[in-house]
Structure 1
Amino acid sequence: MTVVRGRCDARFEAVRKAFEENFESRGELGAAVAVFAGGEPVVDLWGGWADAAGTREWERDTLVNVWSTTKGVTALVAHLLVEEGQLDLDAPVARYWPEFAAAGKEQLPVRHLLSHRAGLAGLREPLTVADLYDWESTVARLAATEPWWEPGSRSGYHAMTYGFLVGEVIRRVTGRTTGAYLRERVTGPLGIDFAIGLPESEDSRVAELVPPQRVEGSEQSAVFAQLHPAAIAALTNPVLSAADANTAEWRRAQLPALNGHGTARAVAALYGILTGAPIGPEGGPEGGPEGGPGLLGRDAVERVREGQGACTDLVLGAGFGGETEIALGCWLSGPRRSYGPNPRAFGHDGYGGSFGLADPETGISVGYVMNRMGPRIADDPRKMALIEALYASL
């Protein structure tokens, strides 16, 4: 039986139980979960193994790649720039990134990038994983390409391109990469253990990702045969694997949609900022960098979760569960209850199971990270068990 360590307020004992059950009956290898209420940590649990061989225990400070849970953090950076008056979500992307005006994209607004409605879910020319490490080349290709569908008409999950698109706007506005601006503006001052572009000095703390069980080839082929060409480009150009994410090249790169590394506590703290809560070092309720209120005001929190229209996502398709709605950088919980019973709670999942959750009404934020990947893009059973236990505790 896996020993779970950490602390958990008595009120949230159901969360501890669900976390333990993830190890006992849902295939967990190594993982951590953290919950903040009003910016104060009330759950901080971890357990299991940081490697497939079971030779390294998962520690309180173990880091792991969280895949697309990173997208919510990148959205946070964009919303901070909006809050500071440096970025207008309704302005054309080309105002900040002139080269982007090519191929009929002159008037495409920034909000379409955040809400996956830009029609730029993937590139048409074949890419390798190594190509993703070349920022300048990738953003130049995206600037030159034409949309797969009419921008704004519907969402189509920008699985890999999101980070380059939003990240290049951030770079044009601030002169810094997303990872550098995040470190200087948020994670450094607040002592939050999360990075986009991980320094080599932190490699010893990183958990090994273990790939999900492979889908049988014929079954996988049947699924992909039904997808829109943009979906195939979004999800398979290039094909990514746990092996890629375990390399030094991946960790060092700037991939603001894919390669954030952090603890569950860090994810909960960052998504806690999206609730408007004051977050201090290690997630304590100590205010912003200079004390006082949170980094985002009430209007900014409402802006983050401003729905852009429910639809069947063009990339993820009906098989994802029917209609969903993406706000400005995160998914709304909606009728699927992906982030609990509050339909206006929001968050983001990472491939394989990780997630961040923000619920401004309850003041709750959650971070969950793990290294044994499940096969789903979203709503992993381990996630849903934790969320159900959390809301049963409120």
Structure 2
Amino acid sequence: MTESNAVAGTVAEGLEPVREEFAAVAAEEGGDLAAQLVVYRNGAPIVDLWTGPELTGDTLLGAYSASKGAAHLVVALLVQEGALSLDERVAHYWPEFAVAGKQDITVRELLAHRAGLVGADEGFGIEELADDRIVAERLGAQRPYWRPGTAFGYHALVAAALSGEVVRRATGWTVQQHFTDRVRAPYAVDFHLGLPEEQEHRFRCAQPMLLTPERRAALVARASGPNSLTGIAFNRHHPRNPEVWELPNFRAVRANGTASFGGVASARGLARMYAAAIGAVDGVPPLLRPETAAAFAQIHSIGYDLVTREHKAFGAGFHVTGEYHPVLGQGAFGHSGAGGQQAFADPRNGLAYGYTRRRTPFPAAAAPENDRLIRALYAAVAAA
């Protein structure tokens, strides 16, 4: 590994272009970028970089929706073991769900954002939204916003509360318990679905995007009404709804490990988690068999997303990441986050990628610099 002058950390020999691209991204943000980038190849780290004030490689940041990736690795493991079936009805595991036209929704449809349960009619206070059991109970009694299976829309703040209730009903354990015991502990993954109080000193609060007049005008132009499907999915119709960028700053969210958005991780944790999903790490066998990873990475929903009003591609609980970054190998899967996070596994190339940043990008989604960093990575790996 070689030391970086522009940013802290190391890269394997031949991957200096990745360090240079990361340094260029930091320079373009005028010193405001606080971010981490980690890549594993065949179970070993090959990139470990960070930059910015109050940040080291061990700093923990909000994972936002990258938390869904952690939660749905648990679901994939349980399907692999036969404790769950993707084509079983949700109501088989969760009988109270079979009301208001939801009796035939399958686990597969739920994971693929096809259930129509993007939010609650009256919305959630932050204390309610942070509690997966409350979210699941409310949505389990509610009628869907579209006929299940006919369309899809990103269940942004609730997806893993719903799938997590299926896990709890089927196994008696929460998603958070499964993740801690079966993923985080055995693979030494620096990702917490439920941050212990004694680890709080490692966490750095998320920061809002820097709003120029142009960005402010663009946000106003992009805004949907609070009672629109988009508004309901992002809980904007509730009078005490916080901004999305604020979510990890609530201790209740971090402590509960709210499975849709409340994870706390370093980029080391993000990358190592996906490395462990597809290959051995430090002698521990891979979490998923290749056929399981391939089944969950298959496209389940693609096209116009009713919530984001954009072209999206989802597998079973994951993003089909190659649809967003075509340089990736077929079968890549993972999940991004609204704070700029990107994390995925690329089984064909043996790569696992984790990127996180402290300040929310514009727009709030996977940060645009990920495309540059990923391209630089794949070009360097091919040339090495």
TM-score by length of 1: 0.88
> For residues 336 and 261 of structure 1, do their structure 2 counterparts lie closer, same or farther at Cα, with a shift above 3 Å needed?
closer
1:297 corresponds to which of 289, 299, 305: 289
Alpha-carbon offset, residue 2 of structure 1: 8.5
| 1:247 corresponding residue in structure 2 | 250
Give ranges in structure 2 of 5+ residues lacking alignment.
Answer: none
| 1:80 corresponding residue in structure 2 | 77
Q: Is the 8 A contact 1:212 1:352 kept in 2?
A: no
Deviations 1:277-320 (A, max 9, x none): 1123xxxxx223xxxxx1211110111111114211111113xx
TM alignment of 1:109-148, pairs within 5 A: 109-148=106-145
Report whether the alignment pairs 1:179 with 2:171.
no
| 1:42 corresponding residue in structure 2 | 46
C-alpha separation in 1, matches of 2:68 and 2:371: 20
Aligned AA for 1:360?
A: P
C-alpha separation in 1, matches of 2:380 and 2:184: 29
| 1:273 corresponding residue in structure 2 | 276
| Partner secondary structure for residue 58 of structure 2 | coil
C-alpha separation in 1, matches of 2:142 and 2:167: 20
Q: Is the 8 A contact 2:133 2:165 kept in 1?
A: no
Q: Is the 8 A contact 2:330 2:348 kept in 1?
A: no
Q: Is the 8 A contact 2:124 2:235 kept in 1?
A: no
Deviations 1:343-365 (A, max 9, x none): 54232111021110211111111
Of 224-233 and 265-274, more deviation after overlay is shown by 224-233
C-alpha separation in 2, matches of 1:67 and 1:361: 27
> For residues 253 and 99 of structure 1, do their structure 2 counterparts lie closer, same or farther at Cα, with a shift above 3 Å needed?
same
C-alpha separation in 2, matches of 1:300 and 1:120: 26
C-alpha separation in 2, matches of 1:349 and 1:2: 28
Alpha-carbon offset, residue 216 of structure 1: 6.5
> For residues 200 and 2 of structure 1, do their structure 2 counterparts lie closer, same or farther at Cα, with a shift above 3 Å needed?
farther
1:256 corresponds to which of 246, 256, 259: 259
C-alpha separation in 2, matches of 1:376 and 1:340: 23
| 2:233 corresponding residue in structure 1 | 234
| 2:365 corresponding residue in structure 1 | 378
Q: Is the 8 A contact 1:353 1:376 kept in 2?
A: no
Where do 4+ consecutive residues of structure 1 move more than 6 Å? 215-218
| 2:314 corresponding residue in structure 1 | 326
C-alpha separation in 2, matches of 1:104 and 1:151: 8
| Partner secondary structure for residue 10 of structure 1 | coil
Q: Is the 8 A contact 1:155 1:326 kept in 2?
A: no
> For residues 352 and 213 of structure 1, do their structure 2 counterparts lie closer, same or farther at Cα, with a shift above 3 Å needed?
same
> For residues 210 and 287 of structure 1, do their structure 2 counterparts lie closer, same or farther at Cα, with a shift above 3 Å needed?
same
Q: How many residues align?
A: 371
Aligned AA for 1:279?
A: V
Work out the percentage of aligned pairs sharing the same amino acid: 34
Report whether the alignment pairs 1:26 with 2:26.
no
Alpha-carbon offset, residue 335 of structure 1: 4.9
| 1:342 corresponding residue in structure 2 | 329
C-alpha separation in 2, matches of 1:248 and 1:43: 31
> For residues 247 and 221 of structure 1, do their structure 2 counterparts lie closer, same or farther at Cα, with a shift above 3 Å needed?
same
Q: Is the 8 A contact 1:157 1:314 kept in 2?
A: yes
C-alpha separation in 1, matches of 2:246 and 2:25: 24
Report whether the alignment pairs 1:105 with 2:122.
no
Q: Is the 8 A contact 2:297 2:316 kept in 1?
A: yes
| 2:63 corresponding residue in structure 1 | 66
C-alpha separation in 1, matches of 2:42 and 2:16: 18
C-alpha separation in 2, matches of 1:26 and 1:384: 16
| 2:164 corresponding residue in structure 1 | 167
RMSD: 2.2
| Partner secondary structure for residue 304 of structure 2 | coil
| Partner secondary structure for residue 367 of structure 1 | strand
> For residues 369 and 222 of structure 1, do their structure 2 counterparts lie closer, same or farther at Cα, with a shift above 3 Å needed?
closer
| Partner secondary structure for residue 149 of structure 1 | coil
C-alpha separation in 2, matches of 1:91 and 1:268: 31
> For residues 151 and 213 of structure 1, do their structure 2 counterparts lie closer, same or farther at Cα, with a shift above 3 Å needed?
farther
> For residues 232 and 247 of structure 1, do their structure 2 counterparts lie closer, same or farther at Cα, with a shift above 3 Å needed?
closer
TM-score by length of 2: 0.90
Q: Is the 8 A contact 2:17 2:377 kept in 1?
A: yes
Deviations 1:13-52 (A, max 9, x none): 11111111121103553211110111111111122123xx
| Partner secondary structure for residue 325 of structure 1 | strand
C-alpha separation in 1, matches of 2:203 and 2:5: 20
